[in-house]
Structure 1
Amino acid sequence: MKKVTIIIVAGGSASGKTTVAQTIANEIFMNKPVTHLSMDSYYKDFSDLTFEEKQLVNFDHPSSLDIELLCQHLDDLKEFKAIETPVYDFKTHSQSGETIKVEPSNVVILDGILALHIEEIRKRGDIKIFIRTDDDIRFIRRLMRDVNERGRKLEDITNQYLNTVRPMYKFFVEPSIDHADLIIPYYEGNNIAIDLVAAKISSLLKK
C-alpha cells in the first residue's frame, strides 16, 4: 500500500486557500502525483427547494455539507482508490448530477472553509494549514467572484455576507486556526508561503 498524505487547507471565504491549493497541485507539481479536492463540491443537493428558498440556506454552516460522502472519498483516496467527485452548480445552488473521476495519488490537498472545524475531516489530515487574510480583502474577492463567475446580484451577495458568511466565519472558521500546523498570511504575490508548503510536499514525495 502506497503512503498517501492528506493536506488540509482551511481559511475564510475568498481567503486564497483554493488558489494556494491549485497552484501547488497544478503548477508546482504539475507532473507529480498530487490531487486537489475542494469541499465546495460536497454541498448537499438542494434541488427540491425553490431558488428563493435556496438563498436562505446557510452554506457556511457544517449542516450544508455532505460530510459523510467527503470522508468516504478521503478514506478511498487514502487506500489508493479512485473516486467520483460531485460537480456542484453554484448558479442554481444544487448538485448538477455530474461527477468527475479523481485518481488516487501520493498527496491529496483538500481545501474548505470548514475543513479544520469539522473533526471527522480534521482527523484525516496529516498536515493542517490555515490561510489568514484580512476581512476586507476577502469580501472584495468574494464580491468580484460571485458577480463575475456565479452571476449573483450585489444585494444578494451583501446580504449573504452579513447574515451568514461573516458570523459563521467568526463562530466556526476563525477559531479553527487553533488546529493548524501552519498559518499562512496570504496576499497576492506571497509566493514564499506557497513555496514553503511546496517544499514540504516535495520532501514527502521523496520519501
Structure 2
Amino acid sequence: MISSQKPIVIGVTGGSASGKTSVSRAIFDQFSGHSLLLLEQDAYYKHSDLPFEERKKINYDHPLAFDTALLHHQLNQLLHREAIDKPVYDYADHNRSKQVVRVEPKDVIILEGILILADESLRDLMDIKVFVDTDDDIRIIRRIKRDMESRGRSLDNIINQYLKTVKPMYHQFVEPTKRYADLIVPEGGGNQVAIDLLVTKIKSILSERGLKE
C-alpha cells in the first residue's frame, strides 16, 4: 500500500569529492530495509548535441550544466508518490545516455549534488539541508584518485579541469550555498556524530508523519 504522507527530502551537498556520497550512503545504511532512495543531481546533466571534443570542454560545475527543471519536476513527482524515469549520465561520453532508470517513490529521499542548494525551488522541497565541508586539498586528492581509477582520465586533464572550472566554480557557486544548510558536516562520512544527529532527526520526522521507521 502506498502511503499518502509526504516523503522526507534530505539534501546533501558540498564540493566535488567532499564526501557527499559517503554521508548519503551512511544515512542510507542506517535505514537499510526501509523505504528510502538516493537521487543524484549528476544524473541530471543536460543532453548536448555538441561533438565529443567540444563536450569535454563544457563547464560541468556551473549551474547551467544541469537540467534543474527536470530534476525539480521529477522530485515533485516522487513527493506526490509517482514513479519517475530517472536519466542516466555517461561520464565517459560526457553526455546523457539514452537509457533511463525506473524509480519508485519512497518515504525518504536523499537528494545529493554539488548545486542542489543553489536553486530556491529545489531548496523549498527539502526538509533537511546538509553541507559537507571538506578542505580543498583533500578534495583534489580524492578527485584525482577517483577520476583516474573509475573514469579513465589523465592526471593533467584532471588538474587542468580542477584549476579552470572545479575550484573557481566551487567558490563562486557551491560554497556560498553553505548559508542555506541546516547542518554543516566537516570531513564527510567519517563524522559519526553528525551522521547520528541526522539519523535521529529523520526518525523524528518519520514518526511525526506516521511513516514507518
Shift in Å, 1:57: 0.3
Shift in Å, 1:187: 4.5
Q: Which amino acid aligns with 2:27?
A: I
Q: Which amino acid aligns with 2:10?
A: I
Aligned residue for 1:69, secondary structure, equals helix
> What are the ranges of 5 or more consecutive residues in structure 2 without an aligned counterpart?
209-213
Shift in Å, 1:188: 5.8
Inter-partner Cα distance in structure 2 for 1:14 and 1:88 = 18
> What are the ranges of 5 or more consecutive residues in structure 1 without an aligned counterpart?
none
Partner residue, 1:166: 167
Q: Is 2:119 aligned against 1:118?
A: yes
Total equivalences in the alignment:
205
Q: Is 2:32 aligned against 1:30?
A: yes
Q: Which amino acid aligns with 1:15?
A: S
Shift in Å, 1:8: 0.7
Shift in Å, 1:192: 2.1
After the TM superposition, which residues 82-101 of structure 1 pair with which residues of structure 2 at under 5 Å, given as runs? Answer: 82-101=83-102
Aligned residue for 1:201, secondary structure, equals helix
Partner residue, 1:57: 58
Q: Which amino acid aligns with 2:147?
A: D
The change in CA–CA distance for 1:87 and 1:15 in structure 2 (over 3 A counts) is: same
- The 8 Å contact of residues 186 and 193 in structure 1, kept in 2 or not, is answered as no
Q: Which TM-score applies when normalising by structure 1?
A: 0.95
Aligned residue for 1:205, secondary structure, equals helix
Inter-partner Cα distance in structure 2 for 1:130 and 1:190 = 13
Q: Deviations along 1:134-164, whole A, 9 cap, x unmatched?
A: 1111111111111111111111111110000
- The 8 Å contact of residues 85 and 99 in structure 1, kept in 2 or not, is answered as yes
Please point out which of 10, 13, 36 is paired with 1:10: 13
Q: Is 2:43 aligned against 1:41?
A: yes
Inter-partner Cα distance in structure 1 for 2:26 and 2:127 = 19
Q: Which TM-score applies when normalising by structure 2?
A: 0.92
- The 8 Å contact of residues 20 and 189 in structure 2, kept in 1 or not, is answered as no
Q: Deviations along 1:34-92, whole A, 9 cap, x unmatched?
A: 1111100000112x222221121000001110111100011001101111111111011
Q: Which amino acid aligns with 2:32?
A: M
Aligned-pair identity in percent equals: 49
Partner residue, 2:211: none
Shift in Å, 1:13: 0.4
Partner residue, 1:103: 104
Inter-partner Cα distance in structure 1 for 2:177 and 2:149 = 30
Higher deviation after alignment, 118-127 or 83-92 = 118-127
Inter-partner Cα distance in structure 1 for 2:40 and 2:189 = 21
Q: Is 2:27 aligned against 1:21?
A: no
